[in-house]
Amino acid sequence: MTVTTGKVNLLGLTQPQLESFFDSIGEKRFRAGQVMKWIHHFGVDDFDAMSNIGKALREKLKASAEIRGPEIVSEDISTDGTRKWVVRVASGSCVETVYIPQGGRGTLCVSSQAGCALDCSFCSTGKQGFNSNLTAAEVIGQVWIANKSFGTIPAKVDRAITNVVMMGMGEPLLNFDNVVAAMQIMMDDLGYGISKRKVTLSTSGVVPMIEELSKVIDVSLALSLHAPNDELRDQLVPINKKYPLEMLLAACQRYISNLGEKRVLTIEYTLLQGVNDQPEHAEQMVVLLAKIPCKINLIPFNPFPHSGYERPSNNAIRHFQDILHKAGHNVTVRTTRGEDIDAACGQLVGQVLDRTRRSERYIAVRQLQSEPVTTPVATNRS
Ligand code: SAH
Ligand code: SF4
C-alpha cells in the first residue's frame, strides 16, 4: 500500500492548480512554471534538486508538498522495443502502462482506472471488475515514469513520447476530472508539450461525459465501436444498453465538429471470429459511418485464457478491411506489439484487488496468462 503523507502531491497539479497552491502558501505564482519544468521536463522528485529555488522556499515546500509517482513494480522491454511498466496505485491495485515505438513515433498507452466496471465481454480488464479510480498524479505519473526512462526532455531533440492514448486499463470518461487534469499536463509546454491531436481519449461510449469533455478540452477522440448494430453491441459492450448507437454516434459527431478543424473520430473495432467479423457487419458499418468523418482501426482480438473468443483468420480480417476500404474509408489493422511481455490491447490486467470479496486476494489472471497465446496477425498498429 502507498503511504499517505497528508502532503499535497504536486505531480498531478495542472499549471493553474499549481499557481493556486503557491498562492495558498503565500508565494509568487510564477514558481508554478519553475516547479512544473523540474517535475515534468527533468523528472525531479526532490525539492533540493531545484537549483533556481532558494533554500527557504525549498524547506517550506518539503514541509507541505511532495512529488510522488506511482510505485514501479516492474519494467519489461519486449524484443520489438515495446516497454511495459506495472505500477502500484494508492488503492493497492496495480495497473499497466505500455510504450510502443514505431517509425518516428512513440505512443504511450496509459491506464485511467484499476479494473473497469463496464464489463465488455472480450476485455480482460473488464473481467476483473472495478477497483479504483486513479488520481491525476497516478495518471500523469505513468507519463512521468516512462519519460524519465528516456532521459530529460531538453536533452533530447526528438522526444521519445510523441503520442499518448488513454487506451490502457479502465474507462477514462468514468474518471473524468483526474483524466482531464492529466491530459492538460500532457499538452502543456511546461508538462510534456504533446499536441492536442496526439493525445487521444478512447471511450466505450459514456455519452453524457463525451458532451462534458467537449466543454473542457480538445483532445482527439476514439470510439470503441466493436459492433455495427445495437443488438450485437448490447452483448459485447453492455453500456450500449444505456447509450445506444444513434445517441452515441451523434455525441461523437458533435464532439468532432466542435474541434473545428479537420479532425476525425477514430473508430476502434475489435474483430472477434464468427461474432462481429462477417462481411455483413462491415457492410452495416459502412452505412452507420457514412456521414461521420472518421478513420477506422481494426484490432484483431488478442486472446486471453477462458475468454471464449478467437482471433479471425488473416483472410477474414483482410476481407473485412477491403469492404470498408472500397467504401472510401481509411482503415488500418493494428499490429499486435509486445506480446512476449503481455502488453497487447486487452491483455493488460495488472493486479486488481478484488473489492467485492473485501479481502487482500489478488485476482489470479496473471497466472492464467502464462498459458501460451496464438501467433498474432502482424500489420500496422496506429
Ligand atoms: N475503456 C476504454 C479504453 C481502454 S480499452 C475503451 O473501451 O475504449 C482500449 C481498446 O482495446 C478498446 O477499443 C478495447 O475495446 C480494446 N480491447 C479490449 N480487449 C481487447 C482484446 N482482448 N483484444 C483486442 N482489443 C481489445
Ligand atoms: Fe472497460 Fe474499455 Fe475493457 Fe470495456 S473495453 S471493459 S470499457 S477497459
66 flagged as catalytic: no
Domains of the chain, start order? 8-66 (1.10.150.530), 71-353 (3.20.20.70)
CB 216 within 8 A of CB 174: no
Q: Is 59 exposed, middle or buried (0-12, 13-18, 19+ CB in 10 A)?
A: exposed
> What is the spatial distance between Cα 368 and Cα 14, in angstroms, rounded to a whole number?
39
> What is the spatial distance between Cα 319 and Cα 315, in angstroms, rounded to a whole number?
6
373 DSSP assignment = -
Residues 6+ apart with CB under 8 A from 271: 277, 298, 299, 300, 301, 311, 312, 316, 317, 320
Q: Is 223 in the pocket of ligand 2 (CB under 6 A)?
A: no
The Cβ of residue 101 has, within 10 Å, a number of other Cβ atoms equal to 16
- Options 116, 252, 294, 345, the catalytic residue: 345
Three cell numbers written together for 83: 516497454
Nearest 5°: the CA angle 327, 293, 107 is: 105
Q: Is 120 in the pocket of ligand 2 (CB under 6 A)?
A: yes
345 flagged as catalytic: yes
User: Whose Cα sits closest to atom 3 in ligand 1?
Assistant: 167
Three cell numbers written together for 182: 492529466
Segment holding 100, helix H or strand E: strand 94-102
The pTM of this model reads 0.90
CB 367 within 8 A of CB 106: no
Nearest 5°: the CA angle 98, 165, 121 is: 80
CB 66 within 8 A of CB 54: no
Of the bound ligands, which one is closest to the alpha carbon of residue 237? Answer: 2
pLDDT tens digits, 312-338:
999 999 999 999 999 999 999 987 777
Please check the confidence at residue 71 and state whether its pLDDT lies above 50.
Answer: yes
pLDDT tens digits, 259-284:
987 899 999 999 999 999 999 999 99
Which has more confidence, 379 or 92? 92
CB 44 within 8 A of CB 52: no
Mutate to test the pocket of ligand 2, among 204, 240, 304 (most ligand atoms within 8 A of CB): 204
Please check the confidence at residue 64 and state whether its pLDDT lies above 80.
Answer: yes
The Cβ of residue 30 has, within 10 Å, a number of other Cβ atoms equal to 10
User: Whose Cα sits closest to atom 13 in ligand 1?
Assistant: 224
3-state secondary structure 134-186: CCHHHHHHHHHHHHHCCCCCCCCCCCCCCEEEECCCCCHHHHHHHHHHHHHHH
User: Whose Cα sits closest to atom 26 in ligand 1?
Assistant: 346
DSSP 229-283: SHHHHHHHSGGGGTS-HHHHHHHHHHHHHHH-SS--EEEEEEE-TTTT-SHHHHH
Residues 6+ apart with CB under 8 A from 173: 179, 201, 203, 206, 209, 210, 213
Q: Which residue reads 500532457 in cell numbers?
A: 186
pLDDT tens digits, 152-195:
555 454 678 999 999 999 999 999 999 999 999 999 999 999 99
Three cell numbers written together for 160: 521519445
- Options 96, 138, 171, 339, the catalytic residue: 96
pLDDT tens digits, 36-54:
999 999 999 999 999 999 9
